[in-house]
Amino acid sequence: MGLLIAACASLAAWLWLTFAQGMFWRTDVRLPPRTAPARWPSVAVVVPARDEAGVLPLSLPSLLAQDYPGEARIVLVDDGSTDGTAALARRLAAEQPGLPLAVVTPGDPPPGWTGKLWALRHGIGYARTATHREPEYLLLTDADIAHEPDSLRELVAAATGADLDLVSQMARLRTAGFWERLVVPAFVYFFAQLYPFRRINRPGSRTAAAAGGCVLLRTGAAVRAGIPDSIRQAVIDDVSLARAVQRSGGRIWLGLAERVDSVRPYPALGDLWRMVSRSAYAQLRHRPLLLAGTVAGLALVYLLPPAALFAGLAGPPSAVGTATAWAGGLAWLLMAATYLPMLRYYRQPALLAPLLPVTALLYLLMTVDSAVQHYRGRGAAWKGRTYARPSDA
């Protein structure tokens, strides 16, 4: 009877998620209607880069080749790279004439700053003071993000046409290997479940998030929100940035990208594990109760449905067993059905949809590992840097 009650609770959770959580599973939230402005505003593209020589040849040329009718320039911030990132960026710019490129170096971040946000602070400051005119917009994009030639033009047209202070697109991540196919679409699916795009984009909404790989930000909104100083300790900088802009009165928008792609490979499970675990416990604000609730919630929502189905079918025939199997099976069916649109967006086979409980178990273990690393004093580690616990900074 206890398993039946839990299975019914899981089914109720899936009914609520499917119909009352902002239609998070839909993947048709793309850039709003665009109209060319009478005058194209000036834009500075700021690219923080730390040891990115492996991906720059696939991403930086796409920025240099942007077909933008207005004034635009690129500021690449070499954040203490040891692999020749700065020299490679200059060589790529020399080989492919396009938007002007400046390469700057901020030095090591002071205490209380994450490396990426310190690099962004330096890059934004340089972009605002290096020429006679301050850029009207800032495109904050990661070094592993490749843009189609019309990407900047489309982003600016969307921002000006809808009078948005922040326009962010969730870049399409790479899904070439087995582990990428299993884990990556679920990463975006879980993100949308936490931060439903439609809810974010609704005027007056209190839900805020962005995707750090591609953020077009009005410079005036950045100044009002104190970006990036006001979020200098944030490990999950994109969500913190969107919240800061929203709190300062800015209008934000987030959706899925069609022509913006991440070129960073995650060939092994360990690569994806580190990507998720470095910030998972920070997402839970380093609170043990939230961790316990998350683990229990993941188990109830994702792991229990198949367990209830198989237990109900394997046990002796009874009304309780049949009801348990039905509740678990229906919950699993809703889970798979809501995952299918994301799999289609990533051009992956529908056969991966029933495997979502396996992927959820991996994410559960990654989250627990993130907490373990935190309590071992390692904080969030990335690119050779380990950030202290917030209380220690």
At 113-171, the pLDDT tens digits run 988 999 999 999 999 998 778 999 999 999 999 999 999 999 999 999 999 999 999 99
SS3 121: helix
Does the CA dihedral 85-86-87-91 come out positive or negative? positive
Burial class (CB in 10 A: 0-12, 13-18, 19+), 108: exposed
80 alpha-carbon distance from chain centroid: 24
201-to-167, 170, 220, 238, 297 alpha-carbon distances in Å: 10, 14, 20, 15, 26
The band of 383, judged by pLDDT with boundaries at 50, 70 and 90, is low
Q: Give residue-wise pLDDT tens across range 85-117.
A: 999 999 999 999 899 999 999 999 998 898 899
The band of 391, judged by pLDDT with boundaries at 50, 70 and 90, is very low
- pLDDT of amino acid 379: 61
The band of 384, judged by pLDDT with boundaries at 50, 70 and 90, is low
Q: Give residue-wise pLDDT tens across range 222-268.
A: 999 999 999 998 888 999 999 999 999 999 999 999 899 999 999 99
Q: Give residue-wise pLDDT tens across range 343-373.
A: 999 999 999 999 999 999 999 999 999 999 8
- Position of tokens 């942007």? 66
- Position of tokens 């299975």? 7
The band of 286, judged by pLDDT with boundaries at 50, 70 and 90, is confident
For Cα atoms 35, 37, 43, give the angle at the middle one, nearest 5 degrees: 115
- Position of tokens 């529908």? 350
Q: Whole-prediction pTM value?
A: 0.93
The band of 380, judged by pLDDT with boundaries at 50, 70 and 90, is low
Does the CA dihedral 271-375-367-27 come out positive or negative? negative
* Domain chopping of the chain, boundaries: 2-23+276-376, 43-163+204-250
- pLDDT of amino acid 376: 83
Give the residue ranges of DSSP H helices in 208-318.
219-225, 237-247, 269-283, 288-298, 304-314
DSSP state of 262: E
How many angstroms separate the CA atoms of 251 and 200, rounded? 10
Does the CA dihedral 326-329-334-340 come out positive or negative? negative
pLDDT tops 90 at residue 382: no
The band of 33, judged by pLDDT with boundaries at 50, 70 and 90, is confident
- Residue 165 near residue 218 (C-beta atoms within 8 A): yes
Written as six digits, the tokens of 51 are 């040891």
- Residue 212 near residue 241 (C-beta atoms within 8 A): yes
Residue type, 32: P
pLDDT tops 80 at residue 386: no
- pLDDT of amino acid 263: 97
- Position of tokens 């070439």? 176
**Average pLDDT of the residues in 271-289:** 90
Q: Give residue-wise pLDDT tens across range 189-202.
A: 999 999 999 999 99
How many angstroms separate the CA atoms of 144 and 211, rounded? 13
CATH 3.40.50.360 fits 43-163+204-250, yes or no: no
Q: Give residue-wise pLDDT tens across range 300-336.
A: 999 999 999 999 999 888 999 999 999 999 999 999 9
Q: What are phi and psi of 154, to 5 degrees?
A: -70, -40
Give the residue ranges of DSSP H helices in the chain.
2-20, 56-64, 85-95, 115-129, 151-162, 178-194, 197-201, 219-225, 237-247, 269-283, 288-298, 304-314, 319-345, 356-375
- pLDDT of amino acid 231: 95
